[in-house]
């Protein structure tokens, strides 16, 4: 299946008891596809992956894939700081019907580049799923360098990278040096347009929960040569992009916003907590400035 240019890093809804609400997860995934996303990333950072059990992840992958069928891709977050566990999760995601795996850089252990290369390579070799690397040094304390990514781009089923390094020079070097089959998705909404301009493939978006139609228009406008329209959309959405990442730690703002819009996404699992009143007001004010996609909020 084509993985798509606009993917949404989906929140994981919880019910009033703090359990995964699979019914709401399926409703949300469908709503995201209805508003322009071509696939969803499950059990990633935005999905509170560190608090989900293996069984919860497998059921989430299976149920969402069953709900959306061939309408969109399910990219399963299966990377951890343990290579063996990552292989187990990735194989499980494949059995559950996922279309691809998202493999985050091992966090906490701060491996050297050779360790990163071997980690990602052996996971990819253990599955037939396309694998997307997730480079986010702000959370993992380690950057997957250009050189390491170009080595990994030679692994047949490593499909590309979700680049959240914020380093546009590195992104340019990767796009320039990698084969065309190795795609670069922006992992940061506010760098979506700059990375597209460098030759990137698309974006893994958080804001698309709220402004999916606009995000889809932005990507389509740029690809069709309407760069002025794409730039105007980007400028209009930029305050929301920034606020969703800076008012409180992701996914607190976007999940809070969904709840306020009328889509029950539930609370958070510790160590994440609800925003305080002042922070909540800031989130609400930021969202009110945008024309949100009410399809998600019904």
Look up residue 229 and give its two tokens. Answer: 């329209």
Q: What is the DSSP letter of 46?
A: T
Task: Supply 275's token pair.
Answer: 């925003």
User: What's the pLDDT at 289?
Assistant: 85
Q: How far from each other are the two terminal CA atoms of the chain, in whole angstroms?
A: 29
Is the pTM value of this prediction over 0.85?
Answer: yes
What pLDDT is stored for residue 295 in this prediction? 54
Q: Indicate the angle between helix axes 113-125 and 83-96, nearest 10 degrees.
A: 30
The active-site residue out of 134, 182, 201, 256 is 134
Hey, what are 95's tokens? Answer: 């059995």
pLDDT reported for residue 45: 93
182 is catalytic: no
* Annotated catalytic residue 289: no
DSSP run (H or E) holding 68: helix 54-68
The answer to whether 215 and 188 are in contact (CB under 8 A) is: no
Domain covering 6-297 in this structure, CATH number: 3.20.20.70
What pLDDT does residue 296 have? Answer: 58
Do residues 272 and 252 touch, judged by C-beta distance below 8 A?
Answer: yes
Residues whose CB falls within 8 Å of the CB of residue 293, separated by 6 or more in sequence, listed in order? 35, 210, 211, 212, 213, 214
d(CA 7, CA 72) in angstroms, rounded, equals 9
List the catalytic residue out of 26, 57, 162, 255: 162
Domain boundaries, the chain: 6-297
- Report pLDDT for 72: 97
What are 233-243's pLDDT values in tens digits?
Answer: 999 999 999 99
**How many CB atoms are closer than 10 A to CB 169?**
10
**What's the mean pLDDT when you consider all of the chain?**
95
Task: Report yes or no: 202 and 186 within 8 Å, Cβ to Cβ.
Answer: yes
Whole-angstrom CA distances from 194 to 46, 90, 107, 190 are: 22, 31, 27, 8
pLDDT under 70: residue ranges of the chain? 291, 293-298
């Amino acid at each position: 299946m084509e993985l798509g240019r606009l993917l949404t890093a989906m929140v994981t809804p919880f019910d009033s008891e703090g359990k995964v609400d699979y019914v709401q997860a399926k409703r949300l995934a469908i709503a995201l596809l209805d508003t322009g996303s071509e696939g969803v990333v499950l059990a990633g950072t935005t999905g509170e992956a560190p608090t989900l059990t293996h069984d919860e992840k497998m059921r989430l992958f299976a149920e969402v894939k069953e709900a959306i069928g061939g309408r969109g891709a399910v990219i399963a977050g299966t990377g951890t700081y343990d290579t063996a566990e990552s292989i187990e999760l990735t194989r499980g995601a494949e059995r559950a019907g996922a279309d691809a795996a998202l493999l985050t850089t091992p966090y906490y252990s701060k491996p050297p580049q050779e360790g990163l290369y071997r980690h990602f390579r052996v996971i990819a070799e253990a599955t037939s799923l396309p694998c997307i690397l997730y480079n986010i040094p702000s959370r993992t304390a380690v950057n997957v360098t250009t050189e390491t990514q170009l080595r990994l781009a030679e692994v047949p089923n490593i499909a590309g990278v979700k680049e959240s390094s914020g380093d546009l020079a590195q992104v340019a070097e990767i796009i320039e040096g990698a084969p065309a089959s190795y795609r670069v998705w922006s992992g940061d909404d506010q760098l979506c347009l700059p990375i597209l301009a460098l030759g990137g493939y698309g974006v893994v978006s958080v804001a698309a929960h709220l402004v999916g139609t606009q995000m889809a228009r932005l990507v389509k406008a740029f690809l069709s040569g309407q760069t002025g329209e794409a730039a105007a959309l980007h400028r209009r959405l930029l305050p929301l992009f920034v606020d969703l990442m800076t008012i409180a730690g992701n996914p607190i703002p976007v999940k809070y916003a969904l709840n306020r819009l009328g889509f029950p996404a539930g609370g958070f699992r510790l160590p994440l907590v609800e925003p305080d009143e002042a922070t909540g007001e800031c989130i609400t004010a930021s969202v009110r400035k945008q024309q949100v996609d009410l399809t998600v909020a019904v």
